[in-house]
């Protein structure tokens, strides 16, 4: 009887040994694909989501690296704050001054140039403030002087920061019924501007992605003050013990690498006939837009 009982015990022990071996090695399927342990949080801007760029890039990143990504699309200011609290692993943002201040605090790792597009001032085709073809600062002054409707994101995003800089150049403190703040992302703000026949400042990519559903035209564009530059910022464990620096570095390395840069340069050409972003990895940032 003892021998009979020993057989199943031996088989059980052998099975457990094999199971431990498979788990410790990750298993064939686990090694080939992403796992729960290889999941990172990307805090980024609404423009990368509303334009559709994330839908293109993130599956390719997971395919190449095995890291799954949970994107949090908020304003750049909010994304940086998530990084500051250690609630994100990597940032993809477009608010250069705020980025430099954040990196100087010492909890972030490397900050690298990824891509750019530009901001544009859009408004109703009738253009009641007469801003068409004006430089951006003069266009904003004309809107305020005419008290034409203007819709701001008002969300501490990179777009909002650029808008505030344009008001400051004109020494204008925008107030009154003509000025409205949504506190929302770029897509929602464009919809409000379209529905109320108002002006707004937008990144070109989100505008082009949603243009078919908007009654808005590009009225002011092209000057250097409207350049919109994106950087990737890795977080380190100095930001908190939940941060995964390996995942952050994997994403940062990948997005400035050849495949991602090629995808960024191609994005939008098939649908709209022009790229929505310009890949910039390895370029001299001082010469962008020249």
How do beta strands 90-93 and 227-235 pair? antiparallel
How do beta strands 39-45 and 68-74 pair? parallel
Q: How confident is the model at residue 32 (pLDDT cuts 50, 70, 90)?
A: very low
Among 37-41, 98-102, 114-118, 232-236, the range scoring the smallest mean pLDDT is 37-41
Structurally, what CATH architecture does the domain formed by 33-117+228-284 represent? 3-Layer(aba) Sandwich (3.40)
* Residue 17: pLDDT over 60: no
pLDDT of amino acid 230: 96
| CA pair distance 31, 203, nearest whole angstrom | 39
pLDDT of amino acid 98: 93
pLDDT of amino acid 37: 62
Instruction: List, for residues 231-253, the tens digit of each pLDDT value.
Output: 999 999 999 999 999 999 999 99
Q: How confident is the model at residue 25 (pLDDT cuts 50, 70, 90)?
A: very low
* Residue 80: pLDDT over 70: yes
Nearest Cα residue to 158 out of 268, 88, 233, 219: 233
* Mean model confidence pLDDT for the chain: 88
Among 21-35, 126-140, 151-165, 237-251, the range scoring the smallest mean pLDDT is 21-35
Mean pLDDT, range 196-216, rounded to an integer: 94
Q: What is the percent of the chain with per-residue pLDDT over 90, rounded to a whole number?
A: 77
Locus of tokens 């078919």: 212
Q: What is the percent of the chain with per-residue pLDDT over 70, rounded to a whole number?
A: 87
* Residue 125: pLDDT over 80: yes
Find the helix or strand (DSSP H, E) in which 230 lies. Answer: strand 227-235
Nearest Cα residue to 89 out of 150, 38, 165: 38
Phi, psi of 201 (to 5 degrees): -100, 130
CATH code: domain 118-226 is: 3.40.190.10
Instruction: Please provide the distance, in angstroms rounded to a whole number, between the alpha carbons at the two ends of the chain.
Output: 88
pTM, to two decimals:
0.80
Instruction: List, for residues 152-205, the tens digit of each pLDDT value.
Output: 999 988 899 999 999 999 999 999 999 999 999 999 999 999 999 999 999 998
Helical ranges in 26-152 per DSSP H: 27-32, 46-50, 53-65, 76-84, 96-104, 136-146
* Residue 11: pLDDT over 80: no
Portions of the chain given CATH number 3.40.190.10: 33-117+228-284, 118-226
| CA pair distance 48, 28, nearest whole angstrom | 34
| CA pair distance 104, 109, nearest whole angstrom | 10
pLDDT of amino acid 270: 79
Q: How confident is the model at residue 224 (pLDDT cuts 50, 70, 90)?
A: confident
Q: How confident is the model at residue 21 (pLDDT cuts 50, 70, 90)?
A: very low
């Amino acid at each position: 009887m003892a021998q009979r009982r020993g057989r199943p015990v031996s088989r059980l022990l052998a099975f457990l040994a094999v199971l431990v071996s498979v788990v410790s090695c990750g298993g064939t399927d686990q090694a080939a694909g992403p796992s729960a342990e290889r999941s990172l949080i990307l805090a980024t801007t609404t423009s990368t989501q509303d334009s559709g760029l994330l839908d293109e890039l993130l599956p390719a990143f997971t395919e190449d690296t095995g890291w799954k990504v949970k994107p949090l699309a908020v304003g750049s200011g909010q994304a940086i704050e998530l990084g500051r609290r250690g609630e994100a692993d990597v940032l993809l943002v477009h608010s250069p001054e705020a980025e430099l201040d954040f990196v100087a605090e010492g909890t972030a790792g490397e900050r690298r140039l990824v891509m750019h597009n530009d901001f544009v001032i859009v408004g109703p085709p009738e253009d009641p403030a007469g801003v068409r073809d004006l430089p951006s600062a003069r266009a904003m002054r004309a809107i305020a002087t005419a008290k034409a409707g203007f819709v701001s994101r008002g969300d501490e995003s990179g777009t909002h920061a650029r808008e505030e800089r344009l008001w400051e150049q004109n020494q204008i403190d925008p107030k009154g019924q003509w000025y409205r703040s949504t506190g929302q992302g770029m897509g929602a703000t464009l919809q409000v501007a379209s529905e109320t026949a108002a002006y707004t400042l937008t990144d070109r990519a989100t505008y082009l992605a949603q243009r078919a559903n908007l009654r808005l035209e590009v009225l002011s564009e092209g000057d250097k003050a409207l350049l919109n530059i994106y950087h990737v910022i890795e977080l380190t464990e100095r930001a908190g013990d939940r941060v995964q620096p390996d995942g952050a570095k994997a994403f940062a390395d990948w997005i400035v690498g050849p495949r991602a840069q090629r995808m960024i340069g191609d994005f939008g050409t098939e649908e709209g006939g022009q790229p929505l972003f310009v890949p910039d990895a390895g370029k001299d940032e001082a010469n962008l837009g020249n």
